[in-house]
Structure 1
Amino acid sequence: MKSQIASVAVLAGAVLLAGCSKEGDLVVQQGVGIQALRSVCPAVGVPDYTGDVTLFRGESRTADAIDVTAAITNVRSTCNDTGDQVYSSATFDVLASRMDTTSARTVEIPYYSTVMRGGSSVVAKRIGTVTVNFAAGEARAQGSGTAAAYVDRAAATIPADIRERITRRRRAGDQSAAIDPLTEPDVRAAIARASFELLIGFQLTDEQLQYNATR
């Protein structure tokens, strides 16, 4: 599942951040390489095509049949990585608009939060609902939702032998300096296994997902 990460950038499973490292993080400082910090905290983001939803009136799917539209925004996350179980939580807003503003109306929109490992394996999934209350005469309204996940620190930690290969100091002229360890298949696989994401999106039907992907 391709995803657009809201708060961090991910490259080959390594998160490039500025700041101080903690125990369990991976710091790469190579003589002729890059500097990187990889956290055991899961990246938080919204997968492609699931960050907005369009509800229609009746069977028509034309623009004049649109009833309500909504989008996930302002995704904010916190992470407690002090224990054996890393706890990550996120909050987000849902901004909605409607066509018919005649009377007050409440709209409930389902969303999901899922923990992914290695970009392809679903570890856990939960379904929730965001409630949006439109006041009479108002075309716009806002709701909010939350998501949370526990990740085993050991599972999110790169094995010691792989860490050694990545962090081994390399000097210009050394034969090993010509090889980026992050391009080696077993290193990439180990990083992927230790990489987790907390993904949030609307719980869409197949038809709604197809609409988002093809419009």
Structure 2
Amino acid sequence: MRLLVSSTLAGSALLLSACSTLDGLDTRTNQGPCPAAGSVYEAQRVVEFNGEGDQYYDIEYTGEINGVRLFCRYVEDNPIEAQIEIDFAFGRGEAATANQHTFNYFVAVTRTNRAVIEKQVFPVNVEFRNGRQVVTMEETVGRIVIPRADSSISGANFEILVGFELTDEQRTFNETGRRFLLQTQ
């Protein structure tokens, strides 16, 4: 399996649906389902504090994954070729000192309910322009290739999962169930 890095910021929604084809691929019907796709619950949000505490006024930046869509294509014994779109919301808290920030998120391919086959980390640069405290955006990882041994292996044997790269402290914070959602102005 290889995740071919072609992460791009999408300015508009792609004209694809779960039944349509990816650009330049075979137009025959998929022989089976696409891999399941979603965000890892424990890593679907990140809260970064200024180091002085963990209260609302100590927040520098927040990020949340709000949606994941996967489009795939495979026929006969060809590899599964997929593209994933991820909807993000990012917040700038009271303790933030800059109007831009870089978050890191991962895309991982796993065997269904088993170990990770491959994982790649991607940066997303966010700018909070004109005093905005919340920015929403979509990121697309445009080419994910999952080899199959033969035509009997369907996409149902795999999952594609996304989440934020977290420190141990951020992971612990998420596990407590605490949430800080910054409101739009």
What TM-score comes out, normalization by structure 2 length?
0.69
RMSD: 2.8
Q: Does 1:92 align with 2:73?
A: no
2:49 aligned partner, one-letter code: F
The structure, 1 or 2, with the larger RCO (C-alpha pairs under 8 Å, 6+ apart) is: 2
- CA offset at residue 156 of structure 1? 7.8
1:127 aligned partner, one-letter code: V
Equivalent position SS for 2:171: helix
Equivalent position SS for 1:207: helix
Matches within 5 A, 1:1-215: 24-25=31-32, 39=33, 41-82=34-75, 84-100=78-94, 105-147=99-141, 148-154=143-149, 157=152, 195-215=157-177
Counterpart of 2:6 in structure 1 is none
1:197 aligned partner, one-letter code: E
Larger Cα-atom Rg: 1
| Unaligned 5+ runs, structure 2 | 1-28, 178-185
2: distance between equivalents of 1:102 and 1:127?
A: 24
Paired residues of 1:105 and 1:136 also in contact (CA < 8 A)? no
Paired residues, what number?
148
2:112 aligned partner, one-letter code: G
Q: Percent identity?
A: 29
1:195 aligned partner, one-letter code: N
Which structure carries more helix by proportion?
1
Equivalent position SS for 2:53: coil
2: distance between equivalents of 1:206 and 1:152?
A: 33
| Unaligned 5+ runs, structure 1 | 1-21, 26-38, 159-190
- CA offset at residue 101 of structure 1? 9.2
1: distance between equivalents of 2:151 and 2:46?
A: 32
Compared with structure 1, are the counterparts of its residues 155 and 52 closer, same or farther at alpha carbon in structure 2 (3 Å cutoff)? farther
Paired residues of 1:100 and 1:139 also in contact (CA < 8 A)? no
1:142 aligned partner, one-letter code: T
- CA offset at residue 144 of structure 1? 3.0
2: distance between equivalents of 1:101 and 1:61?
A: 11
